[in-house]
Amino acid sequence: MNLNDLQHIQEKFKQIFHLQPYVTSRAPGRAEIIGNHTDYNHGFALGAAISQSTYTAVSHRNDDQIALYSANFDQKIHTFPISDIDKKQANHWTNYVKAVVCELSRKIPYKKGFNMYIRSDVPSLGGVSSSAALELSIGLSLQKLYKIDLSMLELAALCQKAENGPLVNSPCGFLDQAACALSKKNRLLFLDFFPKNGLLISEYKYVPIDLSKHDASFLIVVDKKIKRNLGESGYPARRQQCEQSLPLLSNLTGRKIASLRDISIAEFKLYKNKLEKADTKMRMRVEHITYENQRVLDAVKALKYGDINLFGKLLTASGKSALELYELDEKTPELTYLLSQASQIEGVIGARNMGGGFSANILVLLKNSHLDSFSAKLSTMYMKKYYNKLDFISFQPAQGASIIWQSE
């Protein structure tokens, strides 16, 4: 964000609420680099922040009212008392604010309200988790406003709880909020999703990635007309199938299998036929998760040794597995078409689906010299096939959530 953008936010806040904000925060969208549906299976993943962000400016009030204004939605002030923060409005953006406020109020009960202005350039569609960006931006600004002592990891966990809770009711995993909160510039965020000490992960670390050295960039490709909702898609079904495999795997191995991270590739091969006999779909889900965890670990090694081509092959293998074994293109033939066509265009190092699936968005790693030609070729082919326009988001791994201005 540049100084002019910050000044614009400050001026808009003053215009709407007739005073200066006390604090302004930002939180970026995120890209799932590799590690598809591994989070709720206690596995591994690599994520990154993108440059597009959500900005939130807040100030204290002297009464018990909460006043909200979004430049992206209905552009009017919504006001309600603190006592109403647990009351849901049908399909309304204010539910996200209320959900975060409710979770923060468990730390320090609110006695007085606040004014809040929100502006975002994170695409609402495209699998870049605009919801997590919104939650982290809201949470970070309110944390500073009310002087609530939380680490970024704790705040990310709080925001995921808010999204999973009754006000939003979206069953997202922890990759979204963690990547928005913890990412660093020119680094991929490695997450081990084994719960530990009351937290949703046991480890996170940073994996350097110098794409400029390879004259390469990440590119997100999305058809924004293909909408999905996690709660209404096949996401809950996939999650349930993984959970239902655990008792069977425990019986087969003779030991307690608490999550699919406990199954090695060698063990999967040993029990593959018995899983197939029990339930073909279950076998497919277990196979994807087992191999996907190993692909994440192999991707970390590839980057350590600067092998960008191997890294790209792992991305492509991840996408193939997600479509063939996890069937994330169910009712979305556009996703299959995008991935199959993109992989064949000159300059592509690797390509995979991105996010939970059931929508038309992919992640591509390609040479900078082919960015324009790639976009033109894929757009033309897709328009002829589906008569829809594609959007492209080029990015290098960016910085996670931060406070960008605070009053003295």
Domains of the chain: 3-209+400-406 (3.30.230.10)
Amino acid 96: pLDDT: 96
User: Alpha helix (H) ranges present in 329-370?
Assistant: 333-342
Contact call for residues 94 and 68 (beta carbons, < 8 A): yes
Amino acid 358: pLDDT: 80
For 383, the token pair is: 């328009």
Amino acid 229: pLDDT: 54
For 241, the token pair is: 């199938």
- Partnered with residue 25 across adjacent β-strands are 56, 403
Contact call for residues 128 and 30 (beta carbons, < 8 A): yes
The tens digit of pLDDT for each residue in 121-134 reads 998 877 789 999 99
Q: Which amino acid is at 117?
A: Y
SS3 39: helix
Nearest C-alpha neighbor of 168 from the set 159, 177, 176: 159
Query: With a cut of 50, which residues of the chain have pLDDT below it?
Result: 231
Contact call for residues 389 and 212 (beta carbons, < 8 A): no
SS3 235: helix
What's the length of the chain?
408
Amino acid 227: pLDDT: 74
Q: Which residues are marked as active site?
A: 176
What residue has token string 């605070």?
A: 406
Amino acid 232: pLDDT: 56
What residue has token string 């009310």?
A: 146
SS3 61: coil
Amino acid 199: pLDDT: 80
Rounded CA separation 250/119 (Å): 49
Amino acid 1: pLDDT: 65
Amino acid 154: pLDDT: 94
For 1, the token pair is: 């964000």
Amino acid 301: pLDDT: 98
What residue has token string 């899983």?
A: 275
Amino acid 123: pLDDT: 84
